[in-house]
Amino acid sequence: MRRALNLAALGEGRTSPNPLVGAVVLDGAGQLLGEGFHARAGDPHAEVGALAQAGARARGGTLIVTLEPCCHHGRTPPCTEAVIAAGISRVVVAMADPDPRVAGGGIARLRAAGLEVIEAVAEAEALRLNRAFVHRVSSARPLGILKWAMSLDGRTALPNGQSQWISGPEARAWVHRLRAGCDAVIVGGGTVRADDPLLTSRGGRTPEPLRVVISRSLDLPEAAQLWDQAVAPTLVAHGPIGAPEQRQGTARAEATCAVLDRLGVERLELAACEPDPLLEALAVRGCNRVLWECGPELAAAALRQGCVQELAVVIAPRVLGGVAARTPLGNLGLEGLDLVQSWRELERRDLGGDLLWQLEAPQPPADNAKPSIPEASTARPGSTP
């Protein structure tokens, strides 16, 4: 299963809307006969690749696979039938497929055909590997990562607005790798106006992640690196034309749309120009994981609307100071420190002198019906003055 999980990870960032899957076929003596992984949507599933490699010798053997084999016709035929046809006698599965078209049906089909099925082997690792896919299937929203780079004193710019570059080259290269693992990168109109960013993975992923601008005002520049569709695709999301949030007026919004349409930049009109409806639309397009690289107000709105499951914070060992200097987040509406939960550490490491701290959102309060699980040592008690 360790090998199958490693195989699965090879598809990282390229399988959406599908999950990452790896598979290994062994004969009765435990000898490796074949292996495979899902490389991208539309390509053969992992099990099919592993079975093909094993060939006729798979008969009577064991299939080890990180995700329950599918039992439905999608872009490819059901894997369960391929497994049965190959004469496999035992299937070891890490996790059930949360996709409602499968959801245990694959395992049931295999058992009905007389195969032995062992479930939940290394399930935690498999769930972790596919957390973005699981999140999208269960919430109809992609998993959101919010990234910011700040100084040691929590500044994202000098008081004069200068913000490039707070972090060093190693941290910036890491951000390119982070983008390569995401299906879309989201900024607000303010970031386009202030920084004219490129937002690509610098070739780390082909095709590049979708670059998304969410703009309330539709007051966007005529020229911007994001408008060059030869580099990577860009989507501009906005509210209905003529909405009051278009503070520069309807004529300005219409002019921006005309420029974007002429340049071939895709537009998406949302019923409300907010983070959550945007993510809903991106999930429909098959995004499992998106990266928020936006300014403080949009970041705060994304957090408030539950659109952020992970944080990636780069802290540079420099002090900037400044009462008026920009900070990572706008108002979150928090009223008491005892209400502020701790995020849980995923990783913490050095990036050429800068510090990278990745965390995941606090667990929601436990369901009363479930047994309460004591929190890890990072939990903190309420305010005790």
Nearest approach in angstroms of CB 137 to a copy of itself is 27
Please give the Cα distance from 104 to 99 (Å, whole number). Answer: 9
Nearest approach in angstroms of CB 146 to a copy of itself is 9
> By three-state DSSP, how is residue 357 classified?
strand
- Main-chain phi, psi angles of 151, to 5 degrees: -80, 175
- 33, 54 Cβ separation under 8 angstroms: yes
Q: Give the nearer residue to a copy of itself in terms of CB position, either 74 or 168.
A: 168
Among 166, 175, 121, which residue's Cα sits nearest to residue 145? 175
> By three-state DSSP, how is residue 296 classified?
helix
Q: Give the nearer residue to a copy of itself in terms of CB position, either 285 or 344.
A: 344
Active-site hit among 12, 35, 47, 347: 47
Q: Give the nearer residue to a copy of itself in terms of CB position, either 335 or 367.
A: 335
Q: Give the nearer residue to a copy of itself in terms of CB position, either 49 or 295.
A: 295
Please give the Cα distance from 163 to 235 (Å, whole number). Answer: 25
* Structure-token match 């909405």, residue found: 243
Q: Rule CB under 8 A: which residues touch a copy of itself? A: 148, 150-155, 158-160, 162-166, 168-169, 296, 300, 303, 311, 313, 315-323, 325, 327-337, 340-345, 348, 352-353, 355, 357, 359, 377-381, 383-385
- Main-chain phi, psi angles of 349, to 5 degrees: -155, 165
Q: Give the nearer residue to a copy of itself in terms of CB position, either 138 or 342.
A: 342
Nearest approach in angstroms of CB 238 to a copy of itself is 24
Nearest approach in angstroms of CB 332 to a copy of itself is 3
The contacts of residue 6 (CB under 8 Å, 6+ apart) are 22
Residue type, 148: W
Q: Give the nearer residue to a copy of itself in terms of CB position, either 165 or 261.
A: 165
DSSP class per residue in 106-173: HHHHHHHTT-EEE--TTHHHHHHHTHHHHHHHHHSS-EEEEEEEEETTS-SS-TT---TTSS-HHHHH
Nearest approach in angstroms of CB 318 to a copy of itself is 5
H or E stretch covering 204: none
Q: Is 280 a catalytic residue?
A: no
Cβ atoms < 10 Å from Cβ of 134: 20
- Main-chain phi, psi angles of 344, to 5 degrees: -105, 130
Among 214, 159, 167, which residue's Cα sits nearest to residue 192? 214
- Main-chain phi, psi angles of 300, to 5 degrees: -65, -40
- 130, 22 Cβ separation under 8 angstroms: no
Q: Give the nearer residue to a copy of itself in terms of CB position, either 45 or 155.
A: 155
Task: Give the catalytic positions in this structure.
Answer: 47
